[in-house]
Amino acid sequence: MASYGDPAGYRPLRGKFKIYIIDEVHMLSPGAFNALLKTMEEPPEHVKFILCTTDPHKVPPTIQSRCQRFDFRPIPSTLIGDHLRAVIKQEGLEGEPELIHAVAKAGNGSMRDALSLLDRLMASGQKKLTVELLQELLGLPDRDLVSGLIDALAVGEPKGALEASDTLTKRGVSPEQLIETLLDRFRDLMVLSACGAETELVELAGNV
């Protein structure tokens, strides 16, 4: 039972419940977990705890056994893209299919992050949202230059590969960002080569 010194023991001034949201709960110390457990063992009827974590295995079993667990998984890029397309249409704008795909993928499974990025694009005032606008906004490597670099590597042309890399570097693309982009593209190409163009393991908008 909560003690008198515990704020959870006091009833809410307004509303039916007191809601305590503990983000990244796995970061609590053993002492903090013990204190939380004392309240969770016999929680006041007006108190609700919401424990959020990206590492549920680090939460003690004594805490987990007193929780109703909900696992939130990444949203597929195709579903994010469908919603982005609807938002763009509702706002009376036009968006390139490749742009919608790129924003959905940049959301990394989060609808909120994808919508935030789309909002930044719409704030530019452009009636047509393009990949070029996204590249300028985020400082992303130019897709055509990256494709040229990959083509040069594929046919063993060091001159073309070095020139494309130099151009990307001069445009402010960091080596880390370029490597990450290449790894992502190589992964897609490898899966397409192994599984065929109809595979659902690669989400594409146009050519890779």
Amino acid at 88: I
The CA distance from 24 to 58, in Å, is 10
51, β-bridge pairs? 22
* Continuous segment of H or E residues that includes residue 46: none
Burial 183-204 (b: 16+ CB within 10 A, else e): eebeebeeebeeeeeeeeebee
pTM of the model: 0.66
Q: What is the per-residue pLDDT across 144-169, written as a single tens digit (0 to 9) for each?
A: 899 999 999 999 999 999 999 999 98
Q: What is the per-residue pLDDT across 123-151, written as a single tens digit (0 to 9) for each?
A: 989 999 998 898 888 878 888 899 999 99
The CA distance from 175 to 177, in Å, is 5
Q: What is the pLDDT of residue 6?
A: 59
Q: What is the pLDDT of residue 4?
A: 42
Amino acid at 135: Q
With CA atoms as reference, report the closest residue to 44 among 68, 70, 20, 69.
20
Q: What crossing angle do the helices spanning 97-106 and 131-138 adopt, rounded to 10°?
A: 30
Q: What is the per-residue pLDDT across 72-88, written as a single tens digit (0 to 9) for each?
A: 889 998 899 999 999 99
Q: What is the pLDDT of residue 27?
A: 95
- With a cut of 90, say whether residue 114 has pLDDT above it: yes
